[in-house]
Structure 1
Amino acid sequence: MDCIWFYRNQIVHGSPTIPIDNFIKSALNLFQEHRGAWNEKTSSASFQWTPPVRGKISVSFDVAVRPFGSTIAAVCRDHLGNILACATNFTKNCNPNNGEALAALLGIRIASEKEWKSINLEGDSQVVISALNNPLNITDWAIEGAIQDSRTLLRNFDDWKATKIHRDQNRCAHQIAQWASSNSVFKDIPLNWIHQCLLEFHSGKDPPSV
């Protein structure tokens, strides 16, 4: 529309007009720029983490894999996005799928100990999410033990579901796993540490050791 209005003004006011081919090219380029900007904005918004409905607890999990082992993390949040519990642990296993499965198991254990009855398990590993929903979908037998233990614990819940989320939606668990790995913190994380964990993390790199 801006291009059309500009072209119209040139004709009305007797200014030298742009050749019609150049006008069309300019309009198409501007359209592509606007479309790209809107697609980027829409994509970013679609990957925002969404809290669970009231009465459910979100249990998100992730793993930070290193050459010497893996740090697993689980974060539990309510319908307002408040962090209710958080824990990390360490395993010498460097298999990413196994780490994700153990992280899910850690989150389930937290929820079971808290006696929450309705949870949403959320992770960015399709391998683990599929296996949690149906053990027949296991494609990496390294996770079989953790999946079996998880499904046994899940019998204690009135309602649960496991959902694959985008990595950007899993940033909270991801950041805490990275922070715990860098600082060798493997335990239940006090809630007054959480803000510090997230602040120290900067995108693309591990947070500095403290």
Structure 2
Amino acid sequence: MCPICGIEPETTFHIMWNCPSARDVWSVGNAKFQKNVYAGPDFLQVVDGMLRKCSGVEFQQFVGVARRIWHRRNEFVHGGSFIHPSYVLKQALQLSEDFNNLLMTSQESSTPVCSGMLKWQPPPSGWYKVNWDAGIDRRHGRLGLGALIRDSQGNLVAAKSLSHSGLLDPTSAKALAALMAIKLCKAWGFHNLKMESDAKVLVDAVNSTEVDDSSKGHLVADIKLCLVGLQAWKLVYIPCKINWAAHALASLAMTENLDSEWGYVPPDCIGGILEADRIGSVSSDLF
């Protein structure tokens, strides 16, 4: 029997579509999801019907909701927790946003560009280059944040790794890392900042003059507020392959559960990466 309602046998159609708990989720979603009255017994028929009547974005959301309903069932059976229908929908929409962000990143990183653009580049004289990243440890329920600042010669001037309790979606986690990085710059007195992130959705949101009303909107607003008072700043998107040093710092924080800050002398985990970035930037200038 269905472990949630205890009324009917737990078929795929029942648990994904016909169980009262599943209907509660579909009822708070898109109107096209609510109006589908197919009586079963094959859930694939529901999927086929949605594919025919929904737009690409709507169908993507439908798949996300279905995925979260199945995960909620597993979380209830194996962990005893049961998530509210509106939060299931919120998670599904965030999943759709994260997928589009990943897809956009993949497409842009595969776009043919000159080899020099695929290497870390130092900032102009008088400016500082800031990179950040975040890692997610779902098993232990914590985030790892990493940020570093380099001068126009590619030398490290400051870096930080911070372990943060709780779980966030990838874009929001990187927004927290961005806040940490900007605050680090201000603490060290650096004000002309060339900032880079491999989260394009975050980059676009911070650069936009529009209010971000998504789930990460409050973090975007905090970043914009934190940027006030800097002499000059510029934030651009980069492929993740250029962001290895920040990724290593985030991974260090995630695995070691630490809160550490360095000035001028880098930690062992990024020493080789910094040197490789420096050599690569010289090579790209020459060729």
Q: TM-score, normalised by structure 2?
A: 0.51
Q: Which residue of 1 aligns with 2:185?
A: 111
Q: Which residue of 1 aligns with 2:198?
A: 124
Q: Which residue of 1 aligns with 2:57?
A: none
Q: Which amino acid aligns with 1:93?
A: L
In the alignment, is the contact (CA less than 8 A) between 2:118 and 2:242 conserved in 1?
A: yes
In the alignment, is the contact (CA less than 8 A) between 1:123 and 1:170 conserved in 2?
A: yes
Q: Which residue of 2 aligns with 1:20?
A: none
How far is 1:95 from its partner? 1.4
Q: Which residue of 1 aligns with 2:150?
A: 77
How far is 1:188 from its partner? 1.7
CA distance in 1, matches of 2:176, 2:220: 8
CA distance in 2, matches of 1:139, 1:126: 17
In the alignment, is the contact (CA less than 8 A) between 2:146 and 2:248 conserved in 1?
A: no
In the alignment, is the contact (CA less than 8 A) between 1:64 and 1:174 conserved in 2?
A: yes
Tell me, yes or no, if structure 1 residue 144 matches structure 2 residue 228: no
Greater Cα radius of gyration, structure 1 or 2: 1
How far is 1:181 from its partner? 1.5
Tell me, yes or no, if structure 1 residue 133 matches structure 2 residue 207: yes
- TM-align CA RMSD: 2.5
CA distance in 2, matches of 1:56, 1:199: 21
SS of the equivalent of 1:136 reads coil
How far is 1:93 from its partner? 2.2
Q: Which amino acid aligns with 1:197?
A: C
Distance verdict in 2 for CA 1:200–1:183, change over 3 Å: farther
How far is 1:137 from its partner? 6.7
Query: For 1:192, which of 265, 268, 283 is the aligned residue?
Result: 265
Q: Which residue of 2 aligns with 1:172?
A: 245
How far is 1:45 from its partner? 4.6
Tell me, yes or no, if structure 1 residue 154 matches structure 2 residue 231: no
CA distance in 1, matches of 2:233, 2:163: 26
Distance verdict in 2 for CA 1:139–1:47, change over 3 Å: farther
Q: Which amino acid aligns with 1:55?
A: G
Distance verdict in 2 for CA 1:139–1:60, change over 3 Å: farther
In the alignment, is the contact (CA less than 8 A) between 2:142 and 2:254 conserved in 1?
A: no
| Percent of matched pairs sharing the same residue | 23
How many residues align? The count is: 160
CA distance in 2, matches of 1:191, 1:185: 19
How far is 1:99 from its partner? 0.7
Distance verdict in 2 for CA 1:140–1:187, change over 3 Å: farther
In the alignment, is the contact (CA less than 8 A) between 1:85 and 1:191 conserved in 2?
A: yes
In the alignment, is the contact (CA less than 8 A) between 2:126 and 2:152 conserved in 1?
A: yes
What does 1:31-110 correspond to in 2, within 5 Å? Answer: 45-67=116-138, 68-91=141-164, 92-110=166-184
Q: TM-score, normalised by structure 1?
A: 0.68
Distance verdict in 2 for CA 1:75–1:101, change over 3 Å: same
- Structure 1 residue runs of 4+, over 4 Å off? 42-45
